[in-house]
Amino acid sequence: MRPRGITFALTVAAALLLVFWTVTRIRTFTSLFVAHSGIVLTQDQVASSHNASQPQPRTRAIPKITHQIFHNWNDKGNDTLPADWAVLRQTCIDLHSDDDDEWQHMLWTQAKSHDFVATNFPSFLAIYDNYRYPVQRVDALRYLLLYHYGGIYLDLDNGCLRDLEPLLYYPAWTTEFLSGGPLNNNLLGSSAKHPFFGILVSALEYYGPNDYFMPYITVSYTTGQWFETIAWERYHQTAQGQAEPLYRILVDNEPTPPSAPQGPHGPVVFFSTGRGGTWNQWDNFLFAWTGAQYLLIAVLVAAVVRLLWWRGRRTSVARRGRYDLYNTFMGKR
């Protein structure tokens, strides 16, 4: 084959690879916002199923441990919780204080978290220490804790409205907003060493060094909700027919104080929601504004596309006119 043919073949191959890579990334991204795999349950259904099966014939899958993480980014070494988060945390402790099988309520500070990773996941420690954004460590840690110990993870802006016992009979579960979108990682439950959390732990090392330039995208893809959702779908694809589907429990995405048993979109059975958003950066607000103004943005984009098309057509017509004039002048027409 001539050098020119080789160059052409390589160019075509590179173009096809680029198209394949682009299509794959687009499919992965769009899958974050469509219906997800697994079995969806409302909090009401979880509570009703538990009450209807008393005395409980099922085997409890998740140990009686709650995990919460407090890394004080603004005042390192100060492990005193903000007052509102301390109140929310205490609701979970109080609701389980009379349990015969005593619950453990673990609060993971920066120092304890680092020691845990160094002891149990030493190969991951370098990535953990070198995350660009502190919230990536908090995200990664929740997956490591649930894989190692099992239990229920709650963000500190979540409290408890009732005993969490009914949630312990599902081997692994995540939460999803009633309004849809990617899965949540602020409320999670799992037995120890569950394969889904094994996928998350393994993927942390693969995605860890990646930086997508914008904070929100970097966090979401390397440790956050997008990362979790991709792993969730991968688990269900590989385990299809070989393992039981996992559970998605619906939660409200509006603040719900402990005194309000009814959220804006339905009954709130297990969890209350307080002040959050502590990791938000400039692009969080950009994406939030974009989502709120999507109709206006769509109209503007359509207008710009229309303007570019009109200008391109006008330029093309003008060029054709000049070409016809040239041919006429040269006696070709």
Q: How many whole angstroms from its chain centre is CA 3?
A: 48
What is the mean pLDDT of the segment spanning 27-55?
77
- Band of pLDDT at residue 211, cut at 50, 70 and 90: confident
Q: Are 271 and 154 in contact (CB under 8 A)?
A: yes
Q: 126-180: per-residue pLDDT in tens?
A: 999 999 999 999 999 999 999 999 999 999 999 999 999 999 999 999 999 887 7
Indicate yes or no: pTM above 0.85: no
- Give pLDDT, residue 131: 95
Report CA dihedral (145, 146, 149, 155) to the nearest 10 degrees: 70
Phi, psi angle pair for 307, to nearest 5°: -65, -45
- Give pLDDT, residue 295: 59
CA nearest to 93, candidates 59, 61, 60, 68: 68
Q: Are 172 and 192 in contact (CB under 8 A)?
A: no
Q: Is the dihedral of CA 50, 139, 195, 176 positive or negative?
A: positive
- Band of pLDDT at residue 114, cut at 50, 70 and 90: very high
Helix (H) or strand (E) segment spanning residue 296: helix 294-329
Q: 261-307: per-residue pLDDT in tens?
A: 454 445 668 998 887 666 555 455 555 555 555 556 666 767 777 77
User: Which one is predicted more confidently, 292 or 60?
Assistant: 60
- Band of pLDDT at residue 251, cut at 50, 70 and 90: confident
